[in-house]
Structure 1
């Protein structure tokens, strides 16, 4: 812009000199010397004034352009700084969001663990529905644990510990829903331990208190076996006959008929 302004000024100056040089030749034909000189001076003054005004205008425009360029540069710098600040703020907020997400995930994991532990404690203490030998009842986790433990001993042929475990369960849980099954397996453990009188008492209690239970026919058959072991064949035959009469369609009744045929 400055080069353009200077070039334009040079042009203006050259033009001024040319006009000044040509004017006397023209004025000679129209005016006398005084009038010509006066016209030339007047023309030069007007031209210089116009030239000065033009140069002033060009200077003002140049300064405005230069100032505008500097202002634009400052604006660009400020905008760049603001952009960097925004980038930094966004990065900081993104980091906070990621940390919050990790914190929330950690809290959810802790909550899930706490809920699982709470559920485990609840299951360990609250009664639950149990279905055993065709009967549905409610039992505490402790009852279920003791019954399963005693039955596991019996299945391993550890008859002494099994008898102790079933007997202890009867004392701790006299009204348990496991009672008919406990009486049946207790009598079997006692029979295996050759405690025939005790086995008879356990199986008789089962038949007496729970005549409709699934294990009642088998208990009567086991009861007759204990009576035979005690050489009480007469009572054994009576027990077998009652079994056939009370539960004629059971598998235990079929076995009782075979034994009655062989029992003298």
Structure 2
């Protein structure tokens, strides 16, 4: 430290000065100072030593005070850091919980939308026709078709007959009549089958199933021993739907009819 003199060094300086003064008194012929001057010099040296000692003590006290303040500052900083760590941990936990809540909400919304979608009309395509159908309407049609494909034709006829009555304006109606007629044919209800096939042709002559429906009418007429009506039906089929597979089959049937 600039200007700082250790007390011991000051004391040594005072001792040297005292020895020098004593030497001066011991040799009067070479004395440079009088008694009063010597005493003043000694007093000045003492004052300087005292001042230096006091300054050193004050510097020590200031150093102790600065060290104590530094320790307090470090403790305060450590306390603040720990508090920040706790706050960050709490925020991280809150953020993770928020993310879980958002994920749960998104799943809930998705589930809700899926459930709502089950009750919304949808666009479907059946036998070349595109239309909008209610979920229950589609479910009933597919259920009836499933019964038919399982070979339970009597149950299928009942299911399709119920569908036709329940959904008279349905886009499924032509296809439902076609499968109803086939189920009736399989159960030998030929007249009922003819009625449904004719209803399909009257309402939807350009339907994809129309040529097959006409051929099925002829088959029912053959089963009913009405050969004349069957021949007329087959001839009309060839004329109206000449490019269809049903027309090719009709030509073969005509050749076998007597």
Same-fold call, TM cutoff 0.5:
yes
Q: Could you give the per-residue CA deviations for residues 124-174 of structure 1, whole angstroms, max 9, x where no partner exists?
A: 111011011111100011111111111111111111221111111112211
Q: What is the RMSD computed on CA atoms of the aligned residues?
A: 1.9
* Contact 2:178–2:200 under 8 Å retained in 1: yes
Distance 1:239 1:71 in 2: 120
Counting only pairs closer than 5 Å after superposition, residues 53-64 of structure 1 correspond to structure 2 as: 53-64=47-58
* Contact 1:23–1:40 under 8 Å retained in 2: no
Distance 2:47 2:233 in 1: 142
Distance 2:126 2:51 in 1: 111
What's 2:20 paired with? 19
Residue 42 (structure 1) aligned with residue 37 (structure 2): yes
What's 2:173 paired with? 179
What's 1:28 paired with? 29
What's 1:257 paired with? 251
* Contact 2:7–2:49 under 8 Å retained in 1: no
Counting only pairs closer than 5 Å after superposition, residues 11-160 of structure 1 correspond to structure 2 as: 11-24=12-25, 27-29=28-30, 39-49=34-44, 51-160=45-154
Distance 1:90 1:108 in 2: 26
Provide the secondary structure at the position in 2 that maps to 1:125: coil
* Contact 2:180–2:196 under 8 Å retained in 1: yes
Q: 1:223 aligns with which of 200, 207, 217?
A: 217
Q: CA deviation at 1:104?
A: 1.7
Distance 1:255 1:76 in 2: 107
Counting only pairs closer than 5 Å after superposition, residues 187-206 of structure 1 correspond to structure 2 as: 187-206=181-200
What TM-score does the superposition give when structure 2 sets the normalisation length?
0.92
Distance 1:29 1:87 in 2: 74
Unaligned runs of 5+ in 2: none
Unaligned runs of 5+ in 1: none
* Contact 2:25–2:31 under 8 Å retained in 1: no
- The answer to which structure has the higher helix fraction is 1
* Contact 2:125–2:131 under 8 Å retained in 1: yes
Instruction: State how many pairs are aligned.
Output: 255
* Contact 1:16–1:44 under 8 Å retained in 2: no
Q: Could you give the per-residue CA deviations for residues 1-42 of structure 1, whole angstroms, max 9, x where no partner exists?
A: 9xx7342233023112212122235652468xxxx6xx1332
